[in-house]
Amino acid sequence: MKPSYLVLTTFMFSAAVAGAFAAGAATATSKPGEQEVLVDRERRRLEELFIWKISEELKLPVDVEAPFAEASRALNREKARANLDLAKSLEALNQAQNANKSRVRIETNLALRRYEKALKTYGALPLREVSRMRAILGTERLGRYLIVKSQMAEKLLALSARETSEPDNQNKILIEKTPPKSAP
């Protein structure tokens, strides 16, 4: 695996986590706020599962596991904020395109600057992650962390892609796991 692909895949893990559960975690509810709560709950569950899995894979001692977990949660909060800023800046860009003809150029320039700033913040996150995790995990564990995180992201993306391409995926899994009935 190429190093640039590994870094890109590692970075994409957060986006995949958010996308996978934002799209399908919540069922239709009567209140819009309930869906957001369900998505947030699933995101936190997945985040805790990720921390546990990485801790197990790297065999982190207790004195390293706590700082690792807090750093991972903090990075995820930063990534969520950066994703939100990016989405808001795209929305501002969209609105600028629909502005009054005399204001389109000015509004578009402002929106583009906002987008560039959000993109720079978003793009700097993988480097911040590597430096924070190196300080906590050390160089050898950091390498293993990046590989395990990349593998988890690939599996999550594959699962997400399979679920979107096969809407009845859950039923097929149940059917496949059900042993055939023996004839009397």
pLDDT along the chain (184 residues), means of 10: 44 47 42 81 91 95 96 95 94 86 85 93 96 96 96 89 67 47 50
- 32 contact partners, CB below 8 Å, separation of at least 6: none
Give domain status of residue 181, yes or no.
no
pLDDT of residue 32: 62
Give domain status of residue 21, yes or no.
yes
pLDDT of residue 13: 52
Based on the structure, what is the number of domains in the chain? Answer: 1
Give domain status of residue 139, yes or no.
yes
Distances from the Cα of 16 to the Cαs of 146, 157, 161, 173, in angstroms?
16, 6, 10, 22
Give domain status of residue 183, yes or no.
no
pLDDT of residue 174: 43
What is the domain range of residue 66?
3-173
